Amino acid sequence: MDYKIFFLLHMIGTAAVGFYLILPFIVGGVQKLSLGAQEGAVNTVRVANRFAQYGLVVQLVTGGYMMSKGEYSVPWMIIVTVLLLAMFAFGGIMSKPLKSALAGIREKRDVKPETAKLRTFSSLLALSLIIMIFFMVYNQVI
């Protein structure tokens, strides 16, 4: 019964982290918006990123528990752990450009350097999540 509860929590965490799949598209369209809309979009991304970071914590705890109860290969466990840690890092690093972009928009200055960083990190997050999903579905590959 414990496993099913952890699996449910893991799926809820997956829903929170799923934001990272659409993030590159959101960030890519921010520059085309009016200044007020840019501020709202960047602030929304900042809040959603924090929410997704909490989802990653849920993934770490529940996934760690489920790995301890299952039979997975060591290389598979290493790969998914490294991918999860990379997502933590990319999401955390992205918080500074988000804050800088928000401040720049409020000051009405050019935020192209910040949005370039956001595009890079959002793409890395989406790619990491896609690779993670592949290994979750095909956990017997390695």
HEC string for the chain: CHHHHHHHHHHHHHHHHCHHHHHHHHHHHHCCCCHHHHHHHHHHHHHHHHHHHHHHHHHHHHHHHHHHHCCCCHHHHHHHHHHHHHHHHHHHHHHHHHHHHHHHHHCCCCCHHHHHHHHHHHHHHHHHHHHHHHHHHCCCCC
Per-residue pLDDT averaged across 101-105, rounded?
94
Q: Where does the pLDDT of residue 140 fall: very low under 50, low under 70, confident under 90, or very high at 90 and above?
A: confident
Q: Where are the domains of the chain?
A: 2-137
| Confidence at residue 1, expressed as pLDDT on a 0 to 100 scale | 65
- Mean pLDDT within 35-61: 95
Third-level CATH fold of 2-137: Four Helix Bundle (Hemerythrin (Met), subunit A) (1.20.120)
Contact 44, 103 (CB under 8 A): no
Q: What does the pLDDT average to over 78-85?
A: 96
> Does pLDDT of 141 surpass 80?
no
Task: Give 2's pLDDT tier (boundaries 50, 70, 90).
Answer: confident
Q: Is the pLDDT of residue 33 over 70?
A: yes
**pLDDT confidence band for 6 (50 / 70 / 90):** very high
**Predicted local distance difference test score (pLDDT) of residue 139:** 83
Quote the mean pLDDT of the chain.
93
Average pLDDT over residues 81-96: 96
